Amino acid sequence: MATPTGSTETPKGNAEVVQKHYNAIQEKGLDHRNRSRIVYMRNFNNWIKGMLIDEYLTVIKEKRKGEPVRVIDMCCGKGGDLLKWSRGDVNHAILVDIADQSVADAQKRYSEMKAKTPRLFSAEFLVADVTRTSIRALMKDPTMKVDLVSCQFSLHYSFESLPQAEKMLENVSASLKKGGYFIGTVPNAYDIVGRKRLFKKNWFGNTVFTITFDESLDEPYSLFGAKYNFHLHEVLDCPEYLVHFPTLERLAERYGFKVVKKKRFQNYYEDMKRKGQTLLHNMSALETYPPVHGVRLLGHHTEYPHAKEYFDE
Ligand code: SAM
């Protein structure tokens, strides 16, 4: 295990705000998380990530037949997916994030796991802005290629500008083996804009979350830098950017990617709920199901298990 490797660059633009924000979030432990108002939403999001990671690790293992599996956890945060890498039996993981404090927390979590399970996968921890720095130069072995890059709930930060989105995709593409996979989860820009139109204001939300658009920003939104502020109870208060998915797809093509799957959470949930029912139950991600009052207006959200935290006001 290495000490987190830092890029010497100071993050520019809103990356600095994002970095400061995530660094300031304290690790409050499982007990606190379980008592939080957004526990079911967190658990549901975690279940989605768990199923997605499991799905693609399975595909990779079938393809690679016994070869070591290596992954990059891009924008790893505090290492919330370490257990998923352990359950998925990977051989090596590279965790990278812009927030040094989060990376230190991830590294601590890994050390605790390793103390209990000495045969745990090997790992390295990097501090870097993946939208501005070439992460390969920071890796222990810059020639190493991985089978999977996972970027969960983070890719939207790269849509601050075109060069940043390009750099992020270049980082992924340069690190992946041929035939490797890039998986991720992002807020749905169509839903966000749809709700803004519905409420006819530059903000919407409830006591759990608020999305606020800059007064100066109006439709048609630019493909990059379409900034809104996302406030989530006890967790986030941070600038984020709309990700126009067709633009992401076209950009990704330029870096050698072919889209193999894209799904809304609620559709992915429908596809995977049978397979993942034990995990879903164990994580108590479904306490708020069935659908709740107030969601009917938002049609496609009625089947969204964590809708309660968003809409039941
Ligand atoms: N992937 C983790 C998860 O699913 O729990 C963390 C998600 S958290 C919502 C977003 C993470 O993206 C934060 O840890 C933040 O520091 C990181 N991040 C944002 N912009 C970044 C950038 N330009 N380079 C690297 N990490 C970044």
pLDDT score of 297: 25
Whole-angstrom CA distances from 305 to 11, 295, 300 are 36, 11, 12
Name the residue with the closest Cα to ligand 1, atom 17: 75
211 C-alpha vs ligand 1 centroid, how far in Å? 18
In this predicted structure, what is the pLDDT of residue 38?
77
Give me ligand 1 centre to Cα 102, in Å: 9
pLDDT at 34: 62
15 compared with 68, residue with greater pLDDT: 68
Residue-level pLDDT at 200: 87
66-118: per-residue pLDDT in tens? 899 999 999 999 999 999 999 999 999 999 999 999 999 999 999 999 999 99
Judge if the beta carbon of residue 159 lies within 6 A of ligand 1: no
Burial 183-201 (b: 16+ CB within 10 A, else e): bbbbbebeebbebbeeeee
18 lines ligand 1 (CB under 6 A): yes
* Cα 184 to Cα 127: distance, rounded to the nearest angstrom: 20
Scan for tokens 């409830």, then name that residue: 206
Distances (CA, A) of 229 to 146, 189, 192, 312: 34, 13, 12, 21
Distance CA 18, CA 4 (A): 19
Task: Tell me which residue has its CA closest to atom 14 in ligand 1.
Answer: 77
Evaluate if residue 255 carries a pLDDT over 70. yes
Give the position, in ligand 1's atom list, of the atom nearest the Cα of 21.
16
ipTM value for the complex: 0.99
Contact status, residue 110 vs residue 73, Cβ threshold 8 Å:
no
Please tell me which of 43-47, 59-63, 293-297, 298-302 the model is most confident about, judged by mean pLDDT.
Answer: 59-63
In tens, the pLDDT along 267-311 reads 999 999 999 988 888 776 554 433 332 222 222 223 333 434 433
- Of 17-26, 28-37, 199-208, the range with the lowest mean pLDDT is 28-37
Q: Minimal CA–CA distance to 169: which of 113, 253, 101, 234?
A: 253
Determine the 3-state secondary structure of 238 from DSSP: strand
Task: Give me 259's structure tokens.
Answer: 């889209």
- Alpha-carbon dihedral sign for residues 54, 77, 311, 38: positive
- Average pLDDT score over the chain: 84
Which residue lies with its CA nearest to atom 18 of ligand 1?
A: 75
User: Which residues share a beta bridge with 72?
Assistant: 94, 149
Of 239, 189, 236, nearest in space to 212 by CA: 239
Percent with pLDDT over 70 in the chain: 83
- Phi/psi-derived region of residue 218, left when phi > 0, alpha when psi is between -120 and 50, beta in every other case: beta
User: Which token pair is 206?
Assistant: 């409830």
Cβ of 99 closer than 6 Å to ligand 1, yes or no, is yes
Q: pTM of the entire structure?
A: 0.87
| CB burial string 303-312: b at 16+ within 10 A, e below | bbbbbbbbbe
pLDDT computed for residue 287 by the predictor: 46
Q: Is the CB of 80 under 6 A from ligand 1?
A: yes
At 195-248, the pLDDT tens digits run 988 988 889 998 888 999 988 888 888 999 999 999 988 777 899 999 999 999
* 172 C-beta closer than 6 A to ligand 1: no
| Residue with CA nearest ligand 1 atom 5 | 80
Q: Inform me whether the pLDDT recorded for 163 exceeds 90.
A: yes
The answer to whether 97 and 135 have CB atoms below 8 angstroms apart is: no
Instruction: Assess whether the C-beta atom of 150 lies below 6 angstroms from ligand 1.
Output: no
What is the structure's pLDDT at 31?
64
DSSP secondary structure of 258-298:
-------HHHHHHHHTTTTHHHHHHTT--TT-S--TT-GGG
Distance CA 150, CA 56 (A): 10
